[in-house]
Chains A and B, each alone.
Chain A
Amino acid sequence: MTAAAPGDGNAILVADNIAVRFETAEGPITALDDVSFTVRPGEFLSIIGPSGCGKSTLFNVIGGLLSQHEGVVSVAGEAVSGPHPSIGMVFQEESTFPWRNVIDNVAFPLELIGMQREQRVERARHFIALVGLDGFENRYPGELSGGMRQRVSLARTLAAEPKILLMDEPFAALDEQTRLLLGDKVLHIQQQLQQTTLLITHNITEAVQMSDRILVMTYRPGKVKRIVDIALPRPRTSAIVGSEDFGRYVAQIWNDLREEASRGMREEESHALLGDTTP
């Protein structure tokens, strides 16, 4: 196990002392407090925590969608003050454009930079094949399953060739089997592209299956509780979930999370009893 190390000189992404406070009718709420960590190039880091620990808030801060925060996020030494071209985001909610077919969805970022139609179609086909959707280029999102739509979103984000792939519980709405198989697909892509990846999740299995390190967060205010190195061999697939070492990591992380999740549940119950609807 290692502690957060914002001073890591090799880091491609540094989050230094991030804090987010919201004003609510019941008074100020600290969603995140003193969150610091680094991500090295090519690394797969997962951030895990109980519901309400500020994972999605952290996702928005790193992605530049939430500017009102304390602390600094920097990419390759450059401080980020808004959405940054080096960071590609995959959202939890289904986010394909229903009016565009698969190829036009994936080619969207290439269209924005003014790439010629022929060229961008060719590039888009490459990323569609990478996520295993060849043959579906002309289908519309409404004709695809939830897992396939998430793969279209992933391909669209990858088409922009970001240095860092930032994903917020992208498989949360999918069934367990699809989730494991999509995990394989993401792992395969990450290893093939050596893509630096930051995954926000509340699923321990998913985090252990994919990550080099896992950052465990506390319940509100979200703080870094521990960073766990996952020393499982690579390349990995979902077959690893049956191994003894895998089970040991899952148990270890659940041990850390259980206390936080219980605290969160107790606080939410007491808020509910008092009629307080603060999230």
Chain B
Amino acid sequence: MTGAAIRAPRTGRYDWAPRLIGLATLIGSLLLIEFLIRAGIINRYVAPPPSEVIASLYRIVAEEHVLRRFAFTAGECLSAGVLLTVFGVAGGVLMHRFKLLQKACETWVASVAAAPLVIMYPLFLVVFGRNALTIVMMGFISGLPPAILKTIEGISATRKVLVDVGRSFNLTRGQQFWKILLPASLPTIFVGVRLGLIFALINIVGTEYLINYGGLGSLITDLAERYDLGGTYAAICFVILVSVVFFVALEWIERWLRPAD
């Protein structure tokens, strides 16, 4: 009777396989693009060969201070991420708690999630000025809706029996939230925060590009205007790196909060 259906412990035997296949796919794709460009099938004045992009990486680090710009954009993302997590989760909890508020606002929040907020940058420039705050606020506002919506979804989807267990132990409303509703909805909330961060990063780099201020977006503008295609794509690689850093960090935090998943 002891463990007829116990899930087999993870052995790690095949842990390397997905990573290896992923890496091989990336390298294969780059080689294919390199071939297509060198063969003249893709115009090299539209897209530079990957070898040229890789060669430009050192140059943009040494000459364009890309690491400083990387830190600047990452800092903006972090600020927007913290803001959208705090206000998104709090907003979602409030909207779930007060049904009238949820009924009144949920559709609007969903509409904002689908709107191309980046075109509102002139308004933000007027309100906050041409500085990092404008960029952070653009990221924050655009990433907020998914965090709110997924928090509502996560709390609403908490199994009734878990809430009943809490009630049977006479939990206060606060205990019910901190000990049952929040941990039960964490996986869905993290999906919202991840989506929010995607929206935030797109808008942050987009706004930097549009107002030519700050980090990687601004560098991409400069390099594109100089028609330095290798450098432009190398800078885009650093934007991808920002995204990777945040996703790895989020995954780590989620595992720390929910080690069972």
Q: Which A residues are closer than 8 A to B by beta carbons? A: 63-65, 82-83, 85, 87-89, 91, 93-95, 97-101, 108-109, 112, 132-133, 136, 139-148, 160, 178, 181-182
Q: Which of B1, B9, B164 is close to A147, meaning CB atoms less than 8 Å apart? A: B1
Q: Which of B5, B164, B180 is close to A145, meaning CB atoms less than 8 Å apart? A: B5
Classify chain B: how many residues form its interface, as a range: 20 to 34
Chain B residue nearest to A84 in the complex (CB): B170
Overall SS of chain A's interface: loop
Are A99's CB and B165's CB within 8 A?
no
Are B168's CB and A142's CB within 8 A?
no
Residues of A within 8 A of B183 (CB): 97, 99
Known: A65-B167, A112-B171, A141-B260. A93 touches B159 (CB 8 A): yes
- Inter-chain CA distance A64–B170, complex, in Å, is 10
Overall SS of chain B's interface: loop
- Inter-chain CA distance A63–B5, complex, in Å, is 31
- Inter-chain CA distance A148–B260, complex, in Å, is 16
Are A99's CB and B168's CB within 8 A?
no
Residues of A within 8 A of B6 (CB): 139, 143-145, 148
- Inter-chain CA distance A228–B169, complex, in Å, is 32
- Inter-chain CA distance A142–B258, complex, in Å, is 12
In the complex, how many angstroms separate the beta carbon of B44 from the nearest chain A beta carbon?
Answer: 52
Are A93's CB and B161's CB within 8 A?
yes
Are A99's CB and B186's CB within 8 A?
yes
Question: Could you say which of B3, B4, B168 has the most chain A C-beta atoms within 10 Å of its C-beta?
Answer: B168
Q: Which of B3, B9, B165, B259 is close to A91, meaning CB atoms less than 8 Å apart? A: B165
Are B168's CB and A88's CB within 8 A?
yes
Are B164's CB and A112's CB within 8 A?
no
- Inter-chain CA distance A89–B171, complex, in Å, is 14
Residues B1-43 near A (CB distance < 8 A): 1-7, 9
- Inter-chain CA distance A148–B6, complex, in Å, is 9
Inter-chain pairs besides A142-B260, A144-B5, 8 sampled, C-beta below 8 Å = A88-B168, A97-B180, A98-B184, A99-B184, A109-B169, A144-B3, A145-B6, A160-B169
> Is B51 an interface residue, CB under 8 A from the partner?
no
Q: Which of A136, A140, A147 is close to B260, meaning CB atoms less than 8 Å apart? A: A140
- Inter-chain CA distance A140–B255, complex, in Å, is 14
> Is B162 an interface residue, CB under 8 A from the partner?
yes
Known: A95-B162, A99-B186. A112 touches B2 (CB 8 A): no
Residues of B within 8 A of A82 (CB): 170
List 17 contacting pairs A-B, 8 Å CB cutoff, sorted by A: A65-B167, A82-B170, A89-B165, A89-B168, A93-B159, A95-B162, A97-B180, A99-B258, A99-B261, A100-B260, A109-B169, A112-B169, A141-B260, A144-B3, A148-B6, A178-B4, A182-B1
Query: Which 9 pairs between the two chains have the least Cβ-Cβ distance?
Result: A145-B5, A140-B260, A89-B168, A93-B161, A99-B183, A95-B161, A83-B170, A181-B1, A143-B7
Known: A140-B260, A141-B260, A148-B3. A108 touches B161 (CB 8 A): no
Q: Which of B2, B159, B170 is close to A148, meaning CB atoms less than 8 Å apart? A: B2
> Is B107 an interface residue, CB under 8 A from the partner?
no
Are B260's CB and A83's CB within 8 A?
no
> Is B156 an interface residue, CB under 8 A from the partner?
no
In the complex, how many angstroms separate the beta carbon of A61 from the nearest chain B beta carbon?
Answer: 13
Residues of B within 8 A of A99 (CB): 183-184, 186, 258, 260-261
Residues B163-188 near A (CB distance < 8 A): 164-165, 167-171, 175, 179-180, 183-184, 186
